[in-house]
Structure 1
Amino acid sequence: MKKSKAAVILAVILAAFVGLAYYASIILSSTGVGEDMSIPLGLDLSGGVSITYQVVDENPSAEDMSDTIYKLQKRVDSYSTEASVYQVGDDRITVEIPGVQDANEILEDLGNPGSLEFQMPDGSVFMTGDMVEDAQGATATDRYGNKQYIVSLKLTDEGAKIFGEVTSENIGKNLPIVYDGETISYPQVQSAITGGEAQITGMSSFEEADNLATQIRIGSLSLQLSELESSVVGAQLGSQAIASSLKAGAIGLAIVMVFMIVMYAVPGIAASLALAIYTTLVIATLYLFDITLTLPGIAGIILGIGMAVDANVIVFARIREEIATGKSVQTSMKIGFQKAMSAILDGNITTLIASVVLMALGSGTVKGFAYTLMIGIILSLFTAMVVTRYILYSLYALGLKSEKLYGRAKERKSIDFIGKKAVFFTISGIIIAAGLISMGVHSATEGKALNYGLDFMGGTSTTADFGKDMTIEDIENDIVPYVEKVTGDSDVQATKVEGTTQVTIKTRTLSLDERQELEDTLAENCDVDASTITSQSISSTISGEMRSDALKAVIVSCIFMLLYIWFRFKDIRFAASAILALVHDVLVVITVYALVRISVGSTFIACVLTIVGYSINDTIVIFDRIRENLALKTGKQTAEELREVANKSLTQTLSRSINTSITTFIMVVMLYILGVASIRDFSLPLMAGLVCGAYSSICIATELWYVMKVHLGKNKATK
């Protein structure tokens, strides 16, 4: 590359960075303030709309309440992936939607869920709305090529069976669709519909089709609901949490950049600039795609930064190895990027597969995490493989050509990791056993293995009028400490009702005596009129169905990751050992929650998912080096040769594993040091998980592969 061209490329990259940095600064300065150019924040960071519905039906069953809550959750996901729905008392349901401030607009769009019936020509009901799984307005073309507006229906298995029988017997007849006693559609049966999917045609516009689809979706709830009250609620964490998170991120990023420059010299400078561009691109993308940001989303961004650093570290390590063989710096850079490509792509694609599955099958927190993780992966690949490359080539062309500025890999004697596999397995077994024993003891003494928080167990909601407008910081400093003394639990969520002097405090489930004690405490210490204090039980915001969705998403993503690793490495033992290492990491993280008794809430899911993404990426890099070193061998390897390859590969990638872990760990540590209490509760297990992820990649995954390779399969190694 000529100097003139290098100067132009570097100038363009720097100009792009300045522009992106300015754009990102405007977005960040508006975020949380309510201006147009801002990232939508979750209910925990910015507040939003709260709507409470009253169940019209008398004595609703627990099953119908659960089903209605789940369907409402799916519906409000269209407003925000961080929206939550939970039960209040015996017959009320509250919907909380972050990032919006107009309750009337939401109510008008969501409507009052009522009863929906599909009727025979004589008016008798043959199917109810709860047998409709989904309804969407759409456009289609008829057999003559003309555009038509339709409503596409998807039925449940029971609904499909009934619908198939009725339509088969009523071809040519009209079957009215009735909502709250009013006929909203009068479709004619053209043919028998037996596949569980149907179309309603004849709408004059897409808006008409979309409105009809909305009414059908609303009427598909198991229970009829009426609006009881709506309000705009304040944030749970407030501006202090946003400011501290941004400060922690900025300081952490600066430390990571200094670390990269100290460790890698000129390549470190290139990586630091690329990392700065990556960060501004993430901020811009979150804004452009209107993605709601919450604590779990912050976890996804942290993981993305870790993977962005990781890709650079892999490349730089390869460049140093090539320089050590006597090649020129320029040649080493070219070969280094080429050799690093497979490891970077495999690691990122594996994690990307997981994020796609989580986004498709998950809901709420899981989906929000998946969005930010996917953005992070795509942008980290771009910055590492394109931006860093051009910066590095440009710096070289401008005169930074000395080998000393790039480093030379030192020949290290292989460490016998495989020989210590029994020790590693024993350590892991003891840690996991400690967690299981702890959960067993707490389950026997407290009735719950883990310290499940409000999101999982539900609790008590207490509303009081404090007679003055209070900031979230005031609430955190002047109210929450008194509440924690009564409950003995740090899992307290306090929000203010905007436009009023009321504050709602959510805690674990309180007994009647504890409720009275809390009322007395607030009255005595916070100048609250006891007559304004009301308490009621609330259900969990993470329903059983949502937990089931999260578990299903994780299992399916693991299956797809296993298949991809199997396909890429042509050996099921690579895939199996990687997945087992992931299971190991999850169990260790759960052990941390069990021993430290950290509250298990929505961030628990994000924490586990972060560790899964981080660990699998780390493991793939090591496996890629094993695959490369195995290719240098010919014929069937003995157990001793496999041991040599495994130890050599682990030693060659050790510095990369340590450096990547350090940079990611720095980001989380800064969040822990500077964050508010809720963020610290989230950061602590995340730090433990990052350490565990690095440990399992080095000390568990490869050792498992070796054991399987030697003892399992048709091609057992000779001993």
Structure 2
Amino acid sequence: MLYFAPWKTALIVAFAILSVAFALPNAFDEETVESWPDFLPQQQIVLGLDLQGGAHMLLQVERESLVADRLEVLRDDVRTSLRDERIGYTGLSVQSDAVQLRIRDLDRVSDATTVLNGLAAPADPLSFGAQDRDVEVDVAADGLARLTLTQEGVDARLAQAVQQSIEVIRRRIDQLGTTEPTIQREGQDRVLVQVPGLDDPQRLKDLLQQTAALSFHLLCEDMSVDEALRTRPPAGCYLANSVDEPVQPYLLQTRALITGDQLADAQPGFDQQTQEAIVSFRFNTSGASTFGQATTANVGQPFAIVLDDEVISAPVIREPILGGSGQISGNFTPELANDLAILLRAGALPADLTIVEERTVGPGLGADSIAAGEIAGLIGAVGVLVFMGLSYGLFGMFANIALFVNISLILAALSVLGATLTLPGIAGIVLTVGMAVDSNVLIFERIREEVRRGRKTIAAVDVGFREALRTILDANITTLIAAVILFQLGSGPVRGFAVTLAIGIVTTVFTAYTLTRLLVALWVKTRRPTALPI
């Protein structure tokens, strides 16, 4: 047990030196580390929200918004389907949580029922053999028809909307250049967003709350805007206001020429003639074809570029736009143009998001947390070092060297893995400091026991390490299982604590048993002691 082949000794020493080298960048500021030669390790630990400040938001997907959008789509589907079958109807409208209409020709009520039933889909398309539908169709003998959204259908769409919102939010935040954001589902209809290191929480709020639904509409010429304001817009048209001040109303066709779903890219830039900030966009292949056909058929007609029901601009189609690209202008600042490009690239949210909880952690509070954690770690480390030195003499010094390497290994692992260190994570490291020497205590006490039994020096050390190994593994494996469970079932701070605890357990087994045993073996080999200083 005390013999180490030269290659093993070299490997253990090299591993310990590398751990110190990879942990060293965390002792310096970022600018200093960036000035180092490229061959030196430069990765630093990513600090969590509570250590470097940032934004914490809890967002809720609006069920009412989701239901309203679904009813609007269902109403349009009803109109299109009945017209295709040449079935006359009247009074098509959205009433509360249903779409209502009346079939004119009572002889075709049966045909209308078949058509309307065809609009219902499985509530959960991924559930094989599911009988629940997302729409319940009720057609009375007098021709009155109601299409009501079912609870199962709304719940399924809500779940899909939450998942889609998470992906859209992730794409938007990633393009802000932040590091290690936390984006996860909370409950049935909420999304937790934590962005460490963000110095402009208001910008994040604006990005997350904007649905970013882009569409292109022809202007409605069936009625003047003034008349539509006095009465009501004609069927198939609606009123929308401009973004710019003073607000100007537009009467637009409800049906969009094309939507932002078919955008391939969007980039901020400047108009070469006016030097104004703009957003250049490009459609994918199918979108370019659709846009080209729409502009070819409507040359000379004005059309509106609409973002979240507000008109950004309303140019006239001078000539067919066949390249699938164009630009959006509208008195943008460079930052607004960049944010709009981010929103368009990331895609539209499936429903409105409401901020339920908002918390901002300033950098000063983060610095205080780091300082408090450093003080706690330093006090714990000094206490352990003094205790081991006084209790076990030279062997205690060996344990202290192993403890230093152990902490270096933890910091190096967190740096290389890119794991986020939080305040509970620091607590996990401090706990590891106390637990790390526990294995050495077990070994040293067993060696003392073997000496009292009359064993020789080398035999007592050999038996002490060999017999304590099983106990060390049992204790650390059970703790590791608890850490894994905390990581799987916990969230946020609990997961941060579990990560550092799990890494600390693995490094503890290596340093407390293998490294300490190597140090003791080298000492025995060079000094040939007749008595143990323990």
Question: What TM bracket, shorter-length normalisation?
Answer: 0.3 to 0.5
Larger relative contact order (CA 8 Å, sep ≥ 6): 2
Bigger Rg over Cα: 2
Higher strand share: 2
**Which has more helix, going by share of residues?**
1
